[in-house]
Amino acid sequence: MPEQKEVMPYNELKKLFEQKKDVSYDEFKQLSKSEHHVCSGCLIMDTLELLGGKWRMLVIYQLAKRPTYRFGELKKTIPDITNTMLTTVLKDLENHKIVKRVQFNEIPPHVEYSLTDKGKALFPVFYEMAKWAAMNP
């Protein structure tokens, strides 16, 4: 009978990621089969909650395309979003340190939005999504 590999507990995996240790795809895949994986405070569930919703990923993707956007410029790239919803999404992403907001106190005053390093780190996710979409029409 083949030896069964012990499943890494969720908390240990989280610690490894936090310490920037390498976790193999196979270890992650094995962990995802365990009951510990789908839980409150789980890395994947937390990330899906943070990035979920109709607009968040689209706003992040648009912000990733240029160094900065003014509110109106960003709004034009996402025509179906309302001003209120865009404001809400930007504030939420700013609170999570994904978006940086800089206010310029000049005449006329204006605000610019950009991605933080944490936000920019999501760009490989868009790359993988594009690859997946191309391979799975």
| pTM beyond cutoff 0.95 | no
Tens digits of pLDDT across the chain (137 residues): 444 444 455 566 667 667 756 777 787 777 667 655 445 557 777 788 888 889 999 999 999 999 999 999 999 999 999 999 999 999 999 999 999 999 999 888 899 999 999 999 999 999 999 999 999 88
Strand order, beta sheet including 99-104: 69-70, 110-115, 99-104
pLDDT reported for residue 7 = 45
Chain-centre distance of CA 135, in angstroms? 22
